[in-house]
Every structure is written in C-alpha cells, then in structure tokens.
Structure 1
Amino acid sequence: MTPKSALLFGASGLVGSELLKLLLNGPEYEKVIIFVRKSLELKHPILEEVVLEFDDLAQYKACFDVNDVFCCLGTTIKKAGTQEAFRKVDVEYPLEIARLAKEMGAEKFLVISSMGANPRSRVFYSRMKGLLEQELKKIGIASLHIFRPSLLLGDRREFRLGESVSATLSKRLPFLFAGPLSKYKPIGGETVAQGMILAAQSGAEGVFIRESHEIEEMR
C-alpha cells in the first residue's frame, strides 16, 4: 500500500477526533493536515495543523493538494445561534471545501451528513443536510462518499439531549432498535470514523451513500 496524504476538517468534534486518531496511527497516510479554528495542541510526526477562520479557506488552497479530504464539520442550531449561521457551517463551508478539493485534484471527498437527509424535508436540519448532498453531487468529485449516521454516541464537549436519551435507551432497552427499527440504532463516533477510513481505501469512483446500519456493517 502506497502511503497517502489526507486533509481533515472537524478534528475537534466527536467523529473528527476519532478519525484523527486513526489517520495518525494507521499505516495508510504519511501526511495529515487539519484545519482548525483553535489549536488542538497536538504533536505528531505526520501532523500539520493550520489554524484559521473558515471564511479564508481559499487562501490555503495549496493545502488541498492531497489524496483524500475528510469533512466532519457540523453544529446545532443552539450552538450556531441562527439558521443562517447553521447553514454556513453545515452547508456552505463543506461545499467550499469540496470545490477546492476538486480544483486541486483530490481523489476522494468523504463527508458526514445525517440520516433522513432530504432537500425537500420540512425539518430544517434534514433539509440542510439534503441540500448539502444535492450540491456536492454537482461538483463532480471523482469519488464522493456520503455518510448518514443515526444519532451519534461518544464523548462530546457539549451536551446534546437527543443523543444522551438515545444512548440510554440503546443500553437499557436494546430491543427498541431491533428488526425494522435497527436502522435507527445510535452509532458510535468511532464506528463512523472507521467506516470513513475503510471507504477512503477503495479505488472505486462515483457517489456512495452509506446509511447508518451500512456503516455498522463496514467493520
């Protein structure tokens, strides 16, 4: 296997932090670049950290000259403050990242969306994720991998009620997510990260959408 280079966005988040561990400690990559707003204060021989404001992405176009680009950006309405601010983080930034990746010749673009993503959904969150997917497909990246996890499990810096409730239910009442409802079972952030790493090693071209239960089956 020829070592590759990777660019990661969202390295401080639940999935992104797990993905960073895998990128740094696995044999697949010889160089890993992360774009962050605040330094992670992390040192590693193959890690390059770029601290920036995401509105200035185009100024760092040279950093997009990598094999694989991983986008784990995401926020909540509560944290963003407004729907406009949410859209910037969850839609506009990822699209700009994908365009720069395409321009610089990245082989793969791997992004986290959400279960239920639909550009025509009445639910704002699902509609924004659906819009992101719709616009990503138009960019024409050779190998586009979209991950649609259910509610995520793992240690977050901020508390999210929905994920906390789902985590409790899945542990105490696992039968609730059996049979036809298994696709709604919460999924670990580490599991999603592992799925992204595996997908990045595929040589297949096209658009690949992986639902939450399919991500679980990738392990």
Structure 2
Amino acid sequence: MGMRSAIVVGGTGLVGSNLVNVLCNSEEYVSVTVIARRKLEFDHPKLTVKIRSFNELEEKDIEFAHEIFCCLGTTRKKAGSKAEFEKVDVEYPLQIASLAKKCAMHFIIISAMGANEKSKVYYNQVKGKLEKELMALELPQLSIVRPSLLVGERKEFRFGEKMGELVLKGVNPLLIGPMKKYRSIEAVQLAMAMKVIALFGKKAPVTIYDSAQLAGLKMPVKKEEPPVSREELFNWDKFKEEELDPIDDEVVFNRNKLQAMQVKNESQQ
C-alpha cells in the first residue's frame, strides 16, 4: 500500500490544497500530481504540478494513477453565469473522468450534500446531474463525497458561507442522530476522509458518502506488537524441554540390513 500514486484535479482550492498536503505527507503515496490552472504555494519532493487550461486537457495529461481526486468547484456568482458555472462543476469533471477511465483505478469526487437532479435548488440540481452522468460512464470505481458546509481558511472571502459557518458553529452540537449530516465539516477533515476512502473505502462500483460519514472517517491506528523480552528471546529452558530423544546408532547404521542389500546386489549382477 506504500507505493501509490495520485492525481488531484483542482489542488488550489480549499479542499484541494488540504488534500495535496495530506497526500504528500502520507507514507502510502510516493507520487502526487496536481492538475491546476495556476501554480501552487505548496511544494514537496513527491509533488508534480501540471499547469493546464481545463478547456484544453488531453489524454496524455492524465497518466496512470491509483486514485484521481476531483476537487473542482465554483459558485454561480464567481463563475459569472449558469453556463460557466456548469462548465466548471459538470463539463470539466466529466471530461476528466472520461480521460481517466482507462488509466485510473478509482475516481473520487466532491459533490454536495443535497445533490439531486430533480431538486428545486439550482446548485443541488447541477450536482445531481453531475453524479448521474458520472455513474453512466461506468468507471472502474467511483466514490462520491457529499459534504455539508465546508469550514476552513479560504483565499477569497465568501460572505454567505462565512455567515453560515458562524451559525453552524453554534448549532453543530444540537444536530444529532439523522441530523448529524447537516453539521459543517472542516476542509482538512474532508481531505483526510478522501484519503481514507482511497485506501480503505468500500470496493463497490459506486459509493456515496454523506457528511456525517465523512466527519467520522479516520486512518486506522496501527497496533504495535509488544517488544519481545531478552528472557523470551533466549529461553534456553524451553529448548531443553523440546530436546529430541538421543539417536540410536544401531538403528541409523543397521549393518545387518546393509550387508543383506550388498549380497542381493551382487547376486543380481
């Protein structure tokens, strides 16, 4: 498991930047490639960055990887129009998944908690459309993560999300049982959850993880075997107890039997 390679598409955003950090500092991964539209502020010996326009991605840009993590996403306001928003949140991920179908074992993508193509909320409707079309591609393995409101230090200020973050910070403890999936989730926890899904997630063709599941995913703790004491390592009394019976020379060297065999061989010549 310690010789894995990963591709992260969209490694400059809130989750993507955390994920790149997590993977590069993980003993399980030896190679992490980021495909992004601009340079990263983060650097690491395991890291390779490909600066690409997503409009011009080619098959050669997506090389073999155990996992491809798609962290692309924007807002309608930032995109400027519905068409541009859907280009980033639907067209680009589908294009990348299509290119990756033959060279990646597992495609892991960030969607949204309320993703549903029949939703009356436009954002959730778009995410639902993306999920449906990704499933239709019949990828080797597809994992869809549906986080609630993401919490973390963004490079750009989003007033609506900041206000939601402050509200949910006080409400989170009250959201229990089935309501836990509505709790906000730290971006670094989502990044860690995506790594756990890559290494230990379900092996089904398609798996969807809600926010409550994502918040609870952690790397398994390695069990350390207790050290062997010197007394146990050099337990001479045990060897004495298991000592074999002494060898009977008369049994091993049965001279009469040997002589009989020699006589038999001479008579046959």
TM-score bracket, shorter-length normalisation? over 0.9
1:96 aligned onto 2:98: no
Are the counterparts in 1 of residues 169 and 184 from structure 2 also a CA contact under 8 Å?
no
Match of 2:223 in 1: none
Match of 1:128 in 2: 126
Are the counterparts in 1 of residues 149 and 184 from structure 2 also a CA contact under 8 Å?
yes
Match of 1:182 in 2: 180
| Compared CA separation, residues 123 and 206, structure 1 to 2 (3 A) | same
Opposite residue 25 of structure 1, the aligned amino acid is N
| Compared CA separation, residues 41 and 183, structure 1 to 2 (3 A) | closer
| Distance in 2 (alpha carbons) for counterparts of 1:174 and 1:117 | 21
User: Aligned to 1:116, what secondary structure does the other structure show?
Assistant: coil
Match of 2:19 in 1: 19
Match of 1:36 in 2: 36
Q: Over residues 22-71 of structure 1, what are the superposed CA-to-partner deviations in whole Å (9 max), with x where a residue is unaligned?
A: 1100011111110111111543211111011111112x535332111000
1:64 aligned onto 2:25: no
Q: 5+ residue gaps in structure 2?
A: 219-269
What TM-score do the two structures reach when normalised by structure 1?
Answer: 0.93
Once the two structures are TM-superposed, the CA of residue 96 in structure 1 deviates from its matched residue by 0.7
| Distance in 2 (alpha carbons) for counterparts of 1:149 and 1:122 | 19
Once the two structures are TM-superposed, the CA of residue 189 in structure 1 deviates from its matched residue by 0.5
Opposite residue 204 of structure 1, the aligned amino acid is K
| Distance in 2 (alpha carbons) for counterparts of 1:110 and 1:162 | 27
Match of 1:6 in 2: 6
Match of 1:118 in 2: 116
Are the counterparts in 1 of residues 62 and 99 from structure 2 also a CA contact under 8 Å?
no
User: Aligned to 1:147, what secondary structure does the other structure show?
Assistant: strand
Question: What RMSD, in angstroms, separates the aligned Cα atoms of the two structures?
Answer: 1.6
Are the counterparts in 2 of residues 108 and 144 from structure 1 also a CA contact under 8 Å?
yes
Match of 2:156 in 1: 158
Match of 2:217 in 1: 218
| Distance in 2 (alpha carbons) for counterparts of 1:191 and 1:114 | 16
Opposite residue 145 of structure 1, the aligned amino acid is S
What TM-score do the two structures reach when normalised by structure 2?
Answer: 0.77
User: Aligned to 1:95, what secondary structure does the other structure show?
Assistant: helix
Larger radius of gyration between Structure 1 and Structure 2: 2
Are the counterparts in 1 of residues 89 and 127 from structure 2 also a CA contact under 8 Å?
yes
1:55 aligned onto 2:32: no
Greater shift in the superposed pair: 200-209 or 189-198: 200-209
Greater than 3 Å deviation, 4+ residue runs: 172-176
Q: How many residues are aligned here?
A: 217
Q: Identity over the aligned pairs, expressed in percent?
A: 43
Opposite residue 100 of structure 1, the aligned amino acid is L
